[in-house]
Amino acid sequence: MLRGSPVDELIRRSGEIDVHIVRGEGEESPSAPRAPRTARTRWPGYAAALGVLAGCTLVGFPLAEVLSPVNLTMLYLAGVVFVATRYGRGPSVVSAILAPTAVQFFFTQPTTRSRFTIRSM
């Protein structure tokens, strides 16, 4: 704090080398205020996440005869990555939680015995 920013330090130490500072895209200009997000603008991403997972399930049914559930998980992983790159954090978290649940529900066999059985004495 006493010596200035790292940019100032870089310029001081550069000597005869020209230093060009370019502002990143992540910073917003103060003249363009950002519109507040409402539930009305966010729900299409969540609907798309559910649609992608439904599509993965429909594609997975014919493949379940030739692939194991572990391999079908990769299909859902591709769907989660697709949602994450297109719709942001919230829908991708929802799809990341629902994808393994869908694999477990649709493509694995239920167990007949529970691990934690209570035995009577």
Q: Where are the alpha helices (DSSP H) in the chain?
A: 6-13, 39-63, 69-87, 89-107
Q: Specify the pTM.
A: 0.58
The pLDDT tens digits for 1-45 are 566 788 888 888 888 888 888 877 765 555 555 555 555 557 889
Cα 44 from Cα 4, distance rounded (Å) = 45
Asked if residue 52 lies in contact with residue 95, where contact means CB atoms within 8 angstroms, the answer is yes
Compute the distance between CA of residue 78 and CA of residue 82 in angstroms, rounded to an integer: 6
Q: Where are the domains of the chain?
A: 42-107
- If we measure between CA atoms, which residue out of 92, 95, 90 comes closest to residue 50? 95
Do 65 and 42 form a contact (C-beta atoms < 8 A)?
Answer: no
Question: pLDDT of 37-72, one tens digit each?
Answer: 555 557 889 999 999 999 999 999 999 899 888 899
* 40: amino acid identity, one letter: R
CB atoms within 10 A of CB 45: 18
